[in-house]
C-alpha cells in the first residue's frame, strides 16, 4: 500500500485512480478470502477520510464517501463492508471519468469458472449466430444462451471468435460451459426460425420443442439465405417495439427471445437434461 502522504502529493486524477485501484483489489480479496486484515481496513478508511477535504467532489459524492468510510471504520458485517468498498470504488472511478466494463461488476465470477453440473438444458434448444462481428456481442449471447438452458450454439464461419479475450470476459465462463461449433447453415438440420424485425410477435410465435434460432449480423440482420431457410421451416419471430428506433442490439434481442422460448418450453414440457 502506498503511504497516504505520497498519495496526497499526486495530481488529483492520478491520486483518485490509485485509490480506486486499491479499493478494487481490496474488494477482490474480500470476495476470495472472506476478510480483510485490520491494517488494510484502517488504511482504506484513512484514504477516504483524507478525501473529505477535496473540494472537487459534489456534496452528494462526499456524503456517500463519508458513509462508506463509516462502514469501513466500524468494520461492518461482510455484505455491508463489500457494498461500502464497492460504492467508494465506483464513485472514485466516475470522478476520473473512467467507468468499468460490464465484466468488472461481478468480481465473484472474475475467474470465469462455472459448475457445469448445475446446468439445466432444454434438449433441442439451439441457436445459430450468423456473422455476429462483435466479440462483446458473441460473449453476451453465450452468457444468455447458457442462462436460459440452450443445448448448443452454432456459429457461422465469419462470426467473431469466441476465443477472443473480450468474448471470453463478457461470457463469464459460459463459452467453456456451453457446447459450440462453427458451421455453415446449409450443413445443419433444422427446423429453423429467424429472429428478425417484422416477424410474428413474440407472444404469438409457436416456439418449437426442438429448433435452431437464427440471430443475424449487427449491421445487416439475418441474411436472405438464412431468412429463406427460416421461411421454409418455422418462420420468423419478432419483438414488438414502441420507440422511435424500432430495433434492438442483437444481444439484447437475443436475450428477450431466449427468455420467451425457455418459458414456453418449461410450460409445455420441454425435455430438460441435467
Domain that holds residue 246: 116-273
Q: Distance between CA 105 and CA 101 in Å, rounded?
A: 7
Per residue in 104-158, pLDDT tens?
A: 555 444 445 677 777 889 999 999 999 999 999 999 999 999 999 999 999 999 9
pLDDT reported for residue 110: 44
- Shared domain for 75 and 180, answered yes or no, is no
Average confidence (pLDDT) over 153-173: 93
User: Is the CB of residue 193 less than 8 Å from the CB of residue 172?
Assistant: no
Q: Distance between CA 207 and CA 211 in Å, rounded?
A: 8
- Shared domain for 55 and 143, answered yes or no, is no
Q: Tell me which of 57-61, 248-252, 269-273 is least confident.
A: 269-273
Domain end residue (candidates: 67, 90, 109): 109
pLDDT reported for residue 54: 85
- Specify the CATH number for the domain of residue 245: 3.40.1280.10
Per residue in 30-53, pLDDT tens?
A: 888 778 888 889 999 999 998 988
Amino acid at each position: 500500500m502506498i503511504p497516504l502522504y505520497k498519495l496526497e502529493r499526486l495530481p488529483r486524477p492520478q491520486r483518485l485512480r490509485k485509490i480506486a485501484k486499491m479499493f478494487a483489489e481490496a474488494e477482490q480479496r474480500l470476495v476470495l478470502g472472506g476478510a480483510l486484515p485490520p491494517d488494510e481496513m484502517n488504511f482504506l478508511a484513512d484514504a477516504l477520510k483524507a478525501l473529505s477535504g477535496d473540494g472537487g467532489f459534489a456534496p452528494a459524492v462526499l456524503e456517500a464517501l463519508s458513509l462508506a468510510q463509516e462502514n469501513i471504520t466500524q468494520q461492518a458485517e461482510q455484505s455491508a463492508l463489500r457494498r461500502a468498498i464497492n460504492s467508494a470504488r465506483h464513485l472514485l472511478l466516475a470522478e476520473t471519468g473512467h467507468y468499468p466494463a460490464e465484466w468488472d461488476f461481478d468480481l465473484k465470477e472474475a475467474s470465469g469458472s462455472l459448475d457445469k453440473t448445475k446446468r439445466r438444458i432444454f434438449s433441442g434448444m439451439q441457436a445459430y449466430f450468423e456473422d455476429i462481428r462483435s466479440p462483446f456481442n458473441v460473449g453476451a449471447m453465450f452468457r444468455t444462451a447458457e442462462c436460459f438452458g440452450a443445448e448448443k450454439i452454432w456459429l457461422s464461419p465469419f462470426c467473431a471468435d469466441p476465443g477472443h479475450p473480450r468474448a471470453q470476459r463478457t461470457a463469464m465462463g459460459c463459452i467453456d460451459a456451453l457446447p459450440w461449433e462453427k458451421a455453415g447453415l446449409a450443413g445443419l438440420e433444422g427446423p429453423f426460425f429467424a429472429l428478425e424485425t417484422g416477424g410474428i410477435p413474440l407472444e404469438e410465435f409457436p416456439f418449437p420443442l426442438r429448433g435452431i434460432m437464427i440471430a443475424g449480423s449487427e449491421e445487416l440482420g439475418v441474411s436472405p439465405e438464412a431468412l429463406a431457410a427460416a421461411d421454409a421451416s418455422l418462420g420468423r419471430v419478432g419483438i414488438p417495439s414502441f420507440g422511435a428506433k424500432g430495433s434492438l442490439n442483437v444481444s439484447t434481442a437475443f436475450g428477450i427471445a431466449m427468455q420467451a422460448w425457455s418459458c414456453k418450453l418449461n410450460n409445455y414440457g420441454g425435455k430438460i437434461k441435467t
